């Protein structure tokens, strides 16, 4: 970021906090995260239909049984996650002032590039799945480099066990706490490549396991004794601090924010020079000192701080997604469904046990009614071989039928299955089976409305999370000075916007593709191309409905036309209908509207000609 005041110091000792201070800060919150992570690991298994732990599997197999689990939770989660993937959304920057409309359109184009660099649809789905099925999800806004070596701004998905924060946080995004941090495992030899052998060799860590079984919170010693391949945890730690800043106010507007009065005064002098040389009146100018939240960046490993920066970030770059939460409590859909699924697994095991230990080929024999000379062993052999058995009266031998499983177990099993369906949105995620045929339509719709309440919360939280992501992206765009060339299709910009960009040399039409072109951002010498994102609001909109939903909407519009034929005369109505056809893009819609208008004009002209001919007097008359 161009206003970032950063100082990189490796192996530093003069940072405000030492690595030991930071480690102790993390250890003070580890018990909170251990509880979340242990539950999350179990939820991971249920997501994969692997409902039994290793110990439980061994216990079941030792009894000669098969550890068969009920995949009810996994099935429901798959449907929910698939539903999100079929309902894509996009951010929409909106201007809150008329003079910001051009900036809002350019911000939307920049968002499109961030989305492309982030592979946003799949990144968002990964974060959503982690938040709904495991425990919580996390996105990281970062500047990195693509394969061509170009710096890109993107959103990345972070493993839920690789992000921690101040557990005293109460707000949804956890950004009201004292710190947030990301963990990243590297080999000691990688530290050596980046920071030197002396620093790499000096990194030590205590043994004490947290999080995943295969890793230590601060690091793991290589079992073969090769220190180069010790796994060391790098922490990217963001610490909230109170910092004095100096705002340069020029003619009633805040131009910039500096971290030292000297820099602010220097900028003010530069601004005054042209007015002094020309003898013009200098606008009212001042420097305003203000204390505000700021964020220090630490990268540390073991007891060594590798990097320290004073950043100009306006918020944490780590953004937490939670499907359900209450203050500092976090849970997900799996936590809701898991107890019922555990009872279903227990019932299934009991049914399996009952069948396995049930009587098979059992016979009831009344020994006094057998003829002399036949032992029980002989009788059993003859029963298997089908040979005759001699008795003194009927009914001396009859088979004992198997009892089977208790029918009540099966009834309870069915009730639990229905509960899981209801808890997770019912028919909304059950392939469209909205109710039994004997139920009235009003009853079915009422059920759907109730079931929708379950899902509204975690879907609404996803939209809330998306809006926050793009809100935090705005300051990054505001401070960019790297020139960007963004390809746009005809439907991305209105004709008025295209004309305005052409007039300012910010748009070049494509030579090969009709309707496509390229927009320039941060173009040197053109002030309009730089994004001042003040007075810009963010909305999250559905990108497109499914094919079935579009077809249903199209049919409804046709039905409305039958009741009110005058709707066909409305250009807006026709535009809405055309938007439901994927193959008709923005430029096609404009052409269709123009052709309809031209055809109407021709028809009107022909009608006028016919009317003129009919009313023209003949020669004989």
> What tens digit of pLDDT does each residue of 322-341 get?
998 888 899 998 888 888 88
404 backbone dihedrals φ, ψ, rounded to 5°: 75, -170
Please say whether the dihedral angle defined by the alpha carbons of residues 428, 429, 434 and 436, taken in this order, is positive or negative.
Answer: negative
Which of 154-158, 454-458, 506-510 has the weakest average pLDDT?
A: 454-458
Confidence of residue 8 (pLDDT cuts 50, 70, 90): very low
Please say whether the dihedral angle defined by the alpha carbons of residues 547, 548, 550 and 554, taken in this order, is positive or negative.
Answer: positive
The segment with the largest mean pLDDT, out of 10-14, 187-191, 235-239, is: 235-239
Which of 156-170, 295-309, 572-586 has the weakest average pLDDT?
A: 572-586
Whether 17 is covered by a domain: the verdict is: no
Confidence of residue 441 (pLDDT cuts 50, 70, 90): very low
Whether 112 is covered by a domain: the verdict is: no
Whether 62 is covered by a domain: the verdict is: no
Instruction: Answer whether residue 9 shows pLDDT above 60.
Output: no
Whether 383 is covered by a domain: the verdict is: yes
Residue where a domain stops, chosen among 452, 480, 497: 452
Instruction: Answer whether residue 397 shows pLDDT above 80.
Output: no
**Separation of alpha carbons 142 and 144, rounded Å:** 6
Instruction: Answer whether residue 181 shows pLDDT above 90.
Output: yes
Query: Which residues are CB-neighbours of 408 under 8 A, at least 6 positions away?
Result: none
pLDDT at 99: 76
pLDDT at 546: 53
**Separation of alpha carbons 335 and 392, rounded Å:** 65
pLDDT at 321: 94
The segment with the largest mean pLDDT, out of 84-98, 389-403, 449-463, 517-531, is: 84-98
128-138 core/surface letters (b: 16 or more CB in 10 A; e: else): bbbbbbbbbbb
Neighbouring C-beta atoms of residue 280, cutoff 10 Å: 9
Confidence of residue 422 (pLDDT cuts 50, 70, 90): low
**pTM score, whole prediction:** 0.70
Please state the domain count of the chain.
3
Kindly report, residue by residue over 474-513, the tens digit of the pLDDT: 888 877 767 777 777 655 666 777 777 787 777 887 777 7
Give the residue from 21, 572, 612 showing the smallest Cα distance to 296. 21
Which of 202-206, 365-369, 399-403 has the weakest average pLDDT?
A: 399-403
- Residues 512 and 572 reside in one and the same domain: no
Looking at residues 148-160, what average pLDDT do you find? Answer: 88
Instruction: Answer whether residue 138 shows pLDDT above 90.
Output: yes
Beta carbons of 303 and 204 less than 8 angstroms apart: yes
pLDDT at 408: 64
Looking at residues 291-306, what average pLDDT do you find? Answer: 89
Confidence of residue 283 (pLDDT cuts 50, 70, 90): confident
- Residues 391 and 438 reside in one and the same domain: yes
Whether 334 is covered by a domain: the verdict is: no
Confidence of residue 209 (pLDDT cuts 50, 70, 90): very low
- Residues 363 and 415 reside in one and the same domain: yes
How many Cα atoms are found within 13 Å in the side-chain-facing hemisphere of 156? 14
Instruction: Answer whether residue 575 shows pLDDT above 90.
Output: no
pLDDT at 449: 52
- Residues 434 and 365 reside in one and the same domain: yes
Which of 15-29, 94-108, 273-287 has the weakest average pLDDT?
A: 94-108
pLDDT at 40: 92
Query: Which residues are CB-neighbours of 490 under 8 A, at least 6 positions away?
Result: 514, 515, 516, 585, 586, 587
Give the residue from 208, 223, 40 showing the smallest Cα distance to 135. 40
Instruction: Answer whether residue 222 shows pLDDT above 80.
Output: no
- Residues 581 and 517 reside in one and the same domain: no
- Residues 509 and 588 reside in one and the same domain: no
Strand partners, 244: 291
- Residues 553 and 496 reside in one and the same domain: no
pLDDT at 600: 76
Whether 125 is covered by a domain: the verdict is: no
Higher per-residue confidence, 226 vs 440: 226
Whether 513 is covered by a domain: the verdict is: yes
**Separation of alpha carbons 34 and 249, rounded Å:** 48
Whether 422 is covered by a domain: the verdict is: yes
**Separation of alpha carbons 537 and 356, rounded Å:** 65
Looking at the chain, the whole-number percentage of residues with pLDDT higher than 70 is: 71
Beta carbons of 312 and 132 less than 8 angstroms apart: no
| DSSP state string for 341-362 | HHHHHHHHHHHHHHHHHS--SE
- Residues 385 and 418 reside in one and the same domain: yes
Instruction: Answer whether residue 219 shows pLDDT above 80.
Output: no
Cα–Cα–Cα angle for 221, 223, 225, nearest 5°? Answer: 80
- Residues 401 and 483 reside in one and the same domain: no
Kindly report, residue by residue over 331-370, the tens digit of the pLDDT: 998 888 888 888 777 777 776 666 555 545 666 666 666 6
Residue where a domain stops, chosen among 496, 513, 534: 534
pLDDT at 583: 60
- Residues 364 and 434 reside in one and the same domain: yes
- Residues 360 and 445 reside in one and the same domain: yes
pLDDT at 584: 60
Which of 4-18, 123-137, 606-620 has the weakest average pLDDT?
A: 4-18
pLDDT at 6: 45
Q: Which domain holds residue 524?
A: 472-534
Beta carbons of 332 and 134 less than 8 angstroms apart: yes
Averaged confidence pLDDT in the chain: 77
**Separation of alpha carbons 333 and 458, rounded Å:** 9
Please say whether the dihedral angle defined by the alpha carbons of residues 547, 550, 554 and 559, taken in this order, is positive or negative.
Answer: positive
Beta carbons of 497 and 105 less than 8 angstroms apart: yes
- Residues 371 and 441 reside in one and the same domain: yes
Looking at the chain, the whole-number percentage of residues with pLDDT higher than 90 is: 14
Give the residue from 110, 105, 115, 162 showing the smallest Cα distance to 137. 162
11 backbone dihedrals φ, ψ, rounded to 5°: 60, 40
Neighbouring C-beta atoms of residue 508, cutoff 10 Å: 13
Higher per-residue confidence, 371 vs 570: 570
């Amino acid at each position: 970021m161009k206003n970032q005041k950063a100082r990189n110091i490796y192996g530093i000792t003069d940072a405000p906090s030492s690595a030991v201070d930071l480690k102790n800060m993390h250890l003070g919150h580890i018990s909170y995260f251990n509880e979340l992570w242990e539950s999350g690991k179990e939820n991971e298994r249920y997501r994969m239909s692997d409902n039994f732990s290793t110990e439980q599997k061994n216990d079941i197999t030792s009894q000669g049984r098969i550890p068969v689990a009920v995949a009810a939770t996994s099935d429901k989660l798959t449907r929910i996650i698939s539903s999100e993937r079929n309902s894509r959304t996009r951010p929409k920057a909106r201007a809150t002032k008329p003079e910001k409309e051009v900036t809002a359109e350019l911000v939307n184009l920049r968002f499109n590039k961030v989305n492309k660099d982030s592979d946003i649809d799949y990144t968002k789905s990964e974060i959503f799945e982690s938040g709904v099925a495991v425990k919580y999800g996390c996105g990281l806004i970062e500047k990195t480099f693509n394969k061509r070596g170009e710096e890109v701004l993107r959103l990345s998905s972070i493993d839920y066990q690789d992000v921690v924060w101040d557990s005293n946080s109460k707000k949804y995004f956890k950004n009201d706490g004292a710190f947030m941090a990301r963990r990243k495992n590297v080999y000691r030899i990688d530290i050596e490549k980046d920071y030197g052998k002396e620093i790499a060799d000096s990194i030590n860590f205590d043994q004490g396991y947290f999080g995943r079984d295969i890793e230590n919170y601060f690091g793991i010693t290589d079992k073969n004794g090769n220190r180069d391949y010790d796994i060391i945890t790098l922490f990217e730690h963001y610490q909230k601090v109170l910092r004095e800043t100096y705002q340069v106010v020029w003619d009633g507007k805040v131009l910039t924010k500096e971290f030292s009065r000297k820099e602010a005064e220097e900028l003010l002098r530069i601004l005054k020079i042209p007015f002094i040389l020309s003898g013009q009146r200098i606008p009212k100018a001042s420097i305003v000192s203000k204390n505000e939240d700021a964020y220090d960046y630490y990268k540390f490993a073991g007891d060594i701080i590798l990097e320290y920066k004073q950043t100009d970030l306006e918020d944490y770059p780590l953004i937490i997604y939670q499907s359900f939460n209450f203050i500092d409590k976090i849970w997900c859909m799996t936590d809701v469904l898991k107890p019922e699924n555990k009872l279903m697994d227990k019932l299934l095991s009991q049914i399996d046990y009952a069948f396995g230990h049930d009587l098979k080929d059992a016979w009831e024999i009344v020994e006094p009614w057998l003829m002399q000379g036949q032992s029980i062993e002989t009788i059993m052999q003859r029963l298997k071989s089908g040979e005759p058995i001699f008795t003194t009266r009927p009914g001396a031998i009859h088979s004992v039928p198997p009892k089977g499983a208790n029918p009540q177990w099966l009834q309870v099993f069915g009730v639990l299955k229905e509960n899981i369906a209801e808890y997770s949105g019912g028919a909304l995620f059950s392939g469209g089976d909205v109710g039994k045929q004997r139920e009235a339509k009003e009853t079915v719709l009422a059920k759907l409305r109730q079931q929708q309440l379950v899902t509204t919360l975690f879907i609404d939280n996803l939209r809330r999370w998306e809006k926050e992501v793009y809100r935090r992206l705005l300051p990054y765009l505001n401070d960019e000075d790297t020139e960007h060339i963004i390809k746009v299709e005809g439907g991305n910009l209105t004709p008025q916007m295209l004309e305005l960009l052409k007039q300012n040399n910010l748009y070049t039409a494509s030579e090969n593709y009709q309707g496509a072109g390229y927009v320039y951002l941060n173009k040197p010498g053109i002030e309009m191309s730089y994004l001042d994102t003040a007075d810009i609001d963010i909305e999250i909109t559905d990108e497109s409905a499914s094919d079935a939903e579009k077809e249903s909407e199209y049919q409804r519009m046709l039905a409305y036309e039958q009741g009110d034929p005058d709707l066909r005369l409305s250009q807006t109505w026709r535009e809405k209908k055309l938007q439901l056809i994927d193959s008709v893009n923005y430029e096609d819609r404009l052409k269709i509207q123009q052709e309809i208008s031209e055809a109407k004009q021709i028809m009107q002209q022909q009608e006028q000609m016919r009317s003129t001919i009919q009313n023209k007097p003949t020669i004989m008359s």
